[in-house]
Amino acid sequence: MTTMTTTTTTTTTTTTAGHGFWRMAYLGFCALVFAFLIAPILVIVPLSFNAEPYFTFTEGMLRLDADAWSLRWYRQIMEDEEWSRALANSLLIGVSATVLATVLGTLAALGLSNPAMPARRFATGLLISPMVTPVIISAAGMFFFYSNLGLAQTHLGLILAHAALGTPFVVITVTATLAGYDENLSRAAASMGAGPLTVFRRVQLPLIAPGVVSGGIFAFAASFDEVVVVLFMGGIEQRTIPRQMWSGIREEISPAILAVAVFLIVFAVLFLLTVEWLRRRNAR
Amino acid sequence: MSENPDIQAGRTKTGSGTGRPMPSPRLDPRLRAALLVLPLLVFVGVTFLAPLANMLVRSVYDPVVADTLPETLERLRAWDGRGLPEETVYEALARELLAAREDRTLGQVATRVNRVQSGLRSALTRTARRLRDVDEGPWSEAMTGIHAAWGETGTWRALREAGDRYTPRHYLNALDLQRDPDGSIAFQPEDRRIYLFLLWRTLLVSLGVTVLCLLIGYPVARLIAHAPPRRANLLLILVLVPFWTSLLVRTTSWIVLLQNQGVLNDMFVYLGVIGDDGRLAMIYNMTGTFVAMTHVLLPFMVLPLYSVMSAIPKVQTSAAESLGATPWQSFWRVYWPQTLPGVGAGCLLVFILAIGYYITPALVGGSTGQLISNMIAFHMQSSLNWSLAAALGGILLVCVAGLYVLYDRLVGIERMRLG
């Protein structure tokens, strides 16, 4: 018995000693990966305040000279008519597509969550497919099809296209929220005299609202970041922010797009925090 | 009698007082569920699935030549494919070429015939232009006089092939195949093969990115999954910020970091790692595509891994080790097998997304970092060979659909989570 205990203790000590080194290596490796994930996004922020039209830190910036830093690129995008029109287009297309996707997606999720739904797996597969189809294929197909209908180079065409690409996000998030919904609540409401619409409006919707809103945010973010469909189907009149950035990156590279990028990062963080907050609310 | 219905209604009401009052007849639950899904199915069908189907049709169906030169093609059908066709064929073609020139459809026909055999565009356009001055036959002599191509058997074979309404030709092209004069299918000459190579490269890059994401994502997911809740939330945000950040922003970041006069090269020069003339070419090539794609797709690996790992109790590995397993053994025999569903989900998702990648290679791939999607875009926007673009899209779509079905079988689409 005594010998047994001794051996166990020795093994434990050696493994802990081994752990120490490996644990440091493991943590160091993870730190590098986190840096890889986040540093490229952070580096854009200071560079957008560059006083010079360069994409890198000037010596003045490193010495923290006040002159080397400026708001000129922010001023430029604020005053530029093309950027403000792009923002208006992005908002119009994004909001309309989101409303459409959220309403249709929520209804479909209600149906898909019902075990009685016929061909449930197949229907889910079809409805999620816009999310996994390579966007170049969607864009090419939509270009042919929408051109025939006279919807290419119109706002309506882009709204419909973006709504189609955004619906899977709504279906997924709302279905996930509905998985935690207690069907007895609907039954209870119905037993006390509420019609199906009232049950949905007064009982079910308030409870699944966090999922619906999250889905809407996902759909909006997808539209707000979509460039390939706009590239193929949109004309000059339909240029959105990502489309404008695309030309910015390809043609006349200027730090003005870094200033836009900072705005988009701020948007992304706001979306992220809202969705996480809703998720936590829903979990409670 | 007149009271009867009221009484009965009253009875029914009181009778069902413990149940529900039945405000309206209830729909069959199957029908009710289907009716809720129907609007979206119709919407996605019209706005998304119909365009895809339309594109697939376009990849095998092209009526332009058949519609413009119907008489010629009809008469060519009697030709045995050897030597030259009869005078009546020449006569019909002359007539229809002139008509096509009037209708301005000649250009479309010439482009299509030219894709079957290059060099025939000028034969068609020049012949149509000069034929106006020819009043009568024999048309074979007149046409051969205008362009020698009309005296060659291959020209007529090409014309006949271009006249097929339904054709597998674009798929053959997209796979670097061609039909030999005797009708058998063979590889194109080596210097003209491009697509199989690109397809291969796309598969390799996707595989490489997937493996890399797994290798660097797995430890990170494990760290987050077993960290105390507050720290886990903070670390998770570090993964979610890139997930939510615009793809164009992230691509811009990599340009800023990696380009010749970019931050990393400047830093290396400053630190003396490389000389000012030895700046590394890290972008506008395959390196750029690879690095930026890994960055963009890493969250799609970490998140499914994290959700599987956070369900594994930490005590399990401790228990294994207290029973005498080395950390190595307890990881491989206790921990790793339980994370396999997450590994499968993450790898499949990353691979599916990688194989269709377009934006990042287009912006940072230069000429060596282009993938199959970029070739589709090229044929859509520059060469305007839409049928070939559609065929390439069809091939890519089949690959993705196969992986998607596999994902559904192994993971289940309904278990897909976002963020």
Find chain A residues with C-beta within 8 A of B41's C-beta. 108, 123, 126-127
Residues of chain B with CATH 1.10.3720.10: 195-415
pLDDT level of residue B183 (50, 70, 90 thresholds) = confident
pLDDT level of residue B411 (50, 70, 90 thresholds) = confident
Average pLDDT over residues B357-367: 90
* Residue contact B40–A41, C-beta within 8 A: no
- Mean residue pLDDT across chain B: 88
Question: Given CB atoms, is B201 within the 8 Å cutoff of chain A?
Answer: no
Of B264 and B1, more confident: B264
Find chain A residues with C-beta within 8 A of B397's C-beta. 133-134, 137
Find chain B residues with C-beta within 8 A of A9's C-beta. none
The reported pLDDT for the residue numbered B209 is 97
The reported pLDDT for the residue numbered B200 is 94
CA neighbours within 13 Å on the CB side: how many for A239? 14
pLDDT level of residue B185 (50, 70, 90 thresholds) = confident
In order along its 284 residues, chain A shows pLDDT tens digits of 333 443 444 344 444 445 688 889 999 999 999 999 999 999 999 999 988 887 778 888 888 888 888 898 999 899 989 999 999 999 999 999 999 999 999 999 999 998 889 999 999 999 999 999 999 999 999 999 999 999 999 999 999 999 999 999 999 999 999 988 888 998 899 899 888 889 999 999 999 999 999 999 999 999 999 999 999 999 889 999 999 999 988 876 678 899 999 999 999 999 999 999 998 887 76
The CB-based long-range contact list for A204-210 (8 Å cut-off, 24+ gap) reads A207/A181, A208/A106, A208/A174, A208/A177, A208/A178, A208/A181, A210/A177, A210/A278, A210/A279, A210/A281, A210/A282
Rounded distance, CA B346 to CA B344, Å? Answer: 6
Of B39, B47, B324, the CB nearest to A161: B47
Q: Is the pLDDT of residue B242 over 70?
A: yes
Find chain A residues with C-beta within 8 A of B241's C-beta. 37-38, 41, 265, 268-269, 272
Sign, CA torsion A178/A180/A186/A189: negative
Find chain A residues with C-beta within 8 A of B251's C-beta. 249
The reported pLDDT for the residue numbered B19 is 46
* Residue contact B44–A127, C-beta within 8 A: yes
The reported pLDDT for the residue numbered A229 is 96
Concatenate the DSSP letters of all residues of A241-279 into one string. HHHHHHHHHHSS--THHHHHHHHHHHHHHHHHHHHHHHH
Can you tell me the ipTM of this complex? 0.89
Question: Given CB atoms, is B340 within the 8 Å cutoff of chain A?
Answer: no
Distance from A92 to chain B by nearest Cα, in Å?
Answer: 18
Which of B16, B30, B37 to probe the A interface (max A CBs under 10 A)?
B37
**Interface subset of B 75-114, CB within 8 angstroms of A:** none
Tokens standing for residue B300: 């799609």
% residues pLDDT > 70 (chain B): 93
Which of A128, A136, A263 to probe the B interface (max B CBs under 10 A)?
A136
* Residue contact B49–A114, C-beta within 8 A: no
pLDDT level of residue B3 (50, 70, 90 thresholds) = very low
pTM, 2 dp: 0.88
pLDDT level of residue B419 (50, 70, 90 thresholds) = low
Q: Is the pLDDT of residue B153 over 50?
A: yes
Of B246, B262, B381, the CB nearest to A225: B246
Of B38, B40, B248, the CB nearest to A242: B248
Tokens standing for residue A93: 């297309």
- CATH class, range A82-253: mainly alpha
β-pair partners for B187 = B177
The reported pLDDT for the residue numbered B275 is 85
Distance from A44 to chain B by nearest Cα, in Å?
Answer: 6
The reported pLDDT for the residue numbered A250 is 86
Buried b (16+ CB within 10 A) or exposed e, A184-211: eebeebbeeebebeebbeebbeebbbbb
Name the residue with tokens 């910020």: B241
* Residue contact A117–B37, C-beta within 8 A: yes
The reported pLDDT for the residue numbered B16 is 41
Cβ-contact A245, A77 below 8 angstroms: no
Average pLDDT over residues B380-396: 93
User: What string of H, E and C letters represents the secondary structure of chain B?
Assistant: CCCHHHHHHHHHHHHCCCCCCCCCCCCCHHHHHHHHHHHHHHHHHHHHHHHHHHHHHHHHECCHHHHHCHHHHHHHCCCCCCCCCCHHHHHHHHHHHHHHHHHCCHHHHHHHHHHHCCCHHHHHHHHHHHHCCCCCCCHHHHHHHHCHHHHCHHHHHHHHHHCCCECCHHHHHHCCEEECCCCCEEECCHHHCCHHHHHHHHHHHHHHHHHHHHHHHHHHHHHHHCCCHHHHHHHHHHHHHHHHCCHHHHHHHHHHHHCCCCHHHHHHHHHCCCCHHHCCCCCCCHHHHHHHHHHHHHHHHHHHHHHHHCCCCCHHHHHHHHCCCCHHHHHHHHHHHHHHHHHHHHHHHHHHHHHCCCHHHHHHCCCCCCCHHHHHHHHHHCCCCHHHHHHHHHHHHHHHHHHHHHHHHHCCHHHCCCC
The reported pLDDT for the residue numbered A63 is 83
Q: Is the pLDDT of residue B145 over 50?
A: yes
Question: Given CB atoms, is B60 within the 8 Å cutoff of chain A?
Answer: no
The reported pLDDT for the residue numbered B25 is 56
**Interface subset of B 249-288, CB within 8 angstroms of A:** 249-257, 259, 261-263, 266
pLDDT digits (tens, 9 = 90+) for B86-107: 888 998 999 999 999 998 999 9
Q: Is the pLDDT of residue B2 over 70?
A: no
Of A41, A100, A116, the CB nearest to B253: A41
> Which of B11-20, B137-146, B176-185 shows the lowest per-residue confidence on average (mean pLDDT)?
B11-20
* Residue contact B257–A40, C-beta within 8 A: yes
Q: Give the chain B residue nearest A30 (alpha carbons).
A: B220
The reported pLDDT for the residue numbered A18 is 54
pLDDT digits (tens, 9 = 90+) for B11-42: 344 444 444 444 455 678 899 899 999 999 99
**CATH label, B195-415, candidates 3.20.20.60, 2.60.40.10, 3.40.309.10, 1.10.3720.10:** 1.10.3720.10
